[in-house]
Amino acid sequence: MDALVRLDDVRKSFGATRAVDGVCASVPVGRVTGLVGADGAGKTTLLRLMAGLLAPDGGTVSASDALGYMPQRFGLYEDLTVAENLSLYADLRGLAPAEQGDTFARLLSFSGLAGFETRLAGKLSGGMKQKLGLACALVATPRLLLLDEPSVGVDPVSRRELWRMVHELADQGVAVVWSTAYLDEAERCHSVLLLDQGRLIYDGPPKDLTQRMRGRSFAVRGIMDRRVVQAAARRHVGVADALIQGAAVRLVLAEGAAVPAAAELGAPQAVVEPVAPRFEDAFIALLDRHGGPVPALPEIVHHPRPRGGAVVEARDLVRRFGDFTAVDHVGFDVAPGEIFGLLGPNGAGKSTTFRMLCGLMEPSSGVARVAGIDLASAAPEAKQRLGYMSQKFSLYPDLSVRQNLDFFAGVYGLSGARRKAVCGAMLDVFALGPMADTNAGQLPLGFKQRLALAAAILHGPDILFLDEPTSGVDPLVRREFWGHINTLAGDGVAVLVTTHFLDEAEYCDRIGIVYRGRLIAVGSPEEIKASARNPEQPDPTLEDAFIALVEACDREERS
């Protein structure tokens, strides 16, 4: 088959980090090739090598000159209109002026941007920006299209459209490289290059990798307490991975292991039935970085809390910025021991809602109460009971891991032997011991997130606010995270979490879907999914349900 990119033993290092470590691969025409891996796996570096933006330290890269490249932030000029961006890239890529009119018309209708020609790129939504970025990359009809994480920050509806567009291009003979950290996207590619720590660990159709897992994926259904079953499954020797999925627990068995009996999983009445394997199952099995059992959280963090009524209350919350309503009459409760997820595209109002609840921002109207106290009126004792992990890394980059923990313990009033004990325990639990004296700013992303979670919970809060806690960490660290979060929820901690990973929303007891500032649905993942069930979609995924809800909301808006 004709290859538009050939990589032969390509190496690239930045300082001591081997970003790309001996990759051999090729990209065929007429296919969508997924460049899949966790953050920091080397995807962007490899793409930039293909685009000629970086020179390899070793090996050879040969790629077609007729390439279109869309960087992570789309490369759009926000002060320029849609049409001006297109014509800039057309001129730069040498598209003859006579052809521009037809090409623009075709690209605009292809990307659904017709009618928006005079809008500034900066005023487009995330999904529209991305389509414009794609259109700009396509302007000189490239034979090779390189897309760097095109689906980040884009709502599921736009994401679906983008996949349709990309497959259409592949059918026309374009070689598309799509880099992504979302493992569910890998399954939509014809072929996958799977990267881990700069090395290529799999090259081939995603199905072939998934098929290796046949007979190893199971679902445990009909259970009372999902977290008890998950915890039991995790302890079971034959189980490589156990994940909550709505009301069920999904198991991936270790190679050659027998199917565990329901009783062994602490749920004698449950049914263990085989399910189709997913790409993620194979990915986890392939990475095989399972360490020993994770040490338990220290007693100050891990202890039972009183149960009872709601501890987080949002009542009719409204927040306006000028004449823009970011949060529009949002209301929900979170009870002790409950994990409540706020789900929605970027800019929907999740973070604003979150900030009002944490007392970081005053609502325009409505009430935000935590532990019965209105946080806007600043009550330090309420904040003492609250743990907060922000989306951005908010620790001190120039302090070491140990100093950061020590500082946050001090801030929350822990002193002497207690402080020492807690910090020591956190280093153990989060496997930060070996890098205790490294400056926090120097840590790899996954470890930064671990440290951030450790700092947010070390004072044993009763209420935990997590803003996109797992963005940018690999699936293994995400599992570890959720293990801790589940433990805390089991202790009676109320957890409010925002996420844009739809599969993560499945771990929540209840989710609220935020769209254009409004809470358009609240319920358990099963209830949300059920709401989208129809003859066409007998078994909708959470993403299907999400899209159905958002589309219904848009229809309502229009009429």
Partner 1 sequence: MIRLRRLWALVRKEMVQIVRDPSSIVIALVLPVVLLLLFGYGVSLDARHVAVAVVVPEPTQRTASLVTAFANSPYFEVEELRDRRPAEDGLVSGRYRGVVVVADDFDAQASRGLDAPIQVLLDGTDANTARLVKGYAEGVWAKWLGYEARDRGAALAVPVNAETRVWFNEALESRNFLVPGLIAINMTLVGTILTALVVAREWERGTMEAMIATPVGRLELLAGKVIPYFVLGMGGMALSVAIALILFQVPMRGSFWVLTVVSALFLVGALNLGLLISTVAKNQFVAGQIAIVAAFLPAFMLSGFVFEPSSMPLWIEALSHIVAARYFVTCLQTIFMAGDVWSVILPNAGALLLIALVLALVTLKRTRKSLE
Binding interface with partner 1 (CB under 8 A) = 48, 51-55, 67, 69-80, 84, 87-89, 91-94, 120, 136
C-beta of 68 vs 206, nearer to partner 1 = 68
Token pair recorded at residue 211: 């098929």
Asked if 223 and 267 touch (Cβ cutoff 8 Å), the reply is yes
* 204: alpha, beta or left? (left if phi > 0; alpha if psi -120 to 50): left
C-beta of 52 vs 433, nearer to partner 1 = 52
CA 497 – CA 65 distance, rounded (Å): 45
CB under 8 Å to 218, separation ≥6 — which residues? Answer: 250, 251, 252, 253, 259, 272, 273, 274, 275
C-beta of 94 vs 268, nearer to partner 1 = 94
Token pair recorded at residue 255: 């190679």
**Residue 75 beta carbon to partner 1: minimum distance, rounded to whole angstroms:** 3
Residue 389: count of CB within 10 angstroms of its CB: 20
Token pair recorded at residue 352: 């604003």
C-beta of 331 vs 472, nearer to partner 1 = 472
CA 295 – CA 540 distance, rounded (Å): 37
C-beta of 136 vs 409, nearer to partner 1 = 136
**Residue 145 beta carbon to partner 1: minimum distance, rounded to whole angstroms:** 12
3-state DSSP helix/strand/coil percent for the chain, to nearest 5?
35, 25, 35
Token pair recorded at residue 341: 């997820």
**R_g (Cα) of the chain, nearest Å:** 24
C-beta of 97 vs 535, nearer to partner 1 = 97
Residue 385: count of CB within 10 angstroms of its CB: 18
CA atoms within 13 A on the CB side of 155: 23
C-beta of 81 vs 197, nearer to partner 1 = 81
**Residue 224 beta carbon to partner 1: minimum distance, rounded to whole angstroms:** 49
C-beta of 71 vs 461, nearer to partner 1 = 71
C-beta of 149 vs 543, nearer to partner 1 = 149
Q: What does DSSP say about strands 32-36 and 191-196: parallel, antiparallel, or unpaired?
A: parallel
CA 362 – CA 205 distance, rounded (Å): 51
Distance in Å from the first CA to the final CA of the chain:
50
Amino acid at 537: Q
C-beta of 20 vs 186, nearer to partner 1 = 20
Token pair recorded at residue 133: 């970025």
Residue 161: count of CB within 10 angstroms of its CB: 16
**Residue 92 beta carbon to partner 1: minimum distance, rounded to whole angstroms:** 4
Q: Indicate the DSSP class of residue 396.
A: -
**Residue 79 beta carbon to partner 1: minimum distance, rounded to whole angstroms:** 4
Asked if 468 and 499 touch (Cβ cutoff 8 Å), the reply is yes
CB under 8 Å to 346, separation ≥6 — which residues? Answer: 126, 153, 154, 155, 500
C-beta of 13 vs 439, nearer to partner 1 = 13
**Residue 521 beta carbon to partner 1: minimum distance, rounded to whole angstroms:** 34
Residue-level length of the chain: 559
Token pair recorded at residue 39: 């953050």
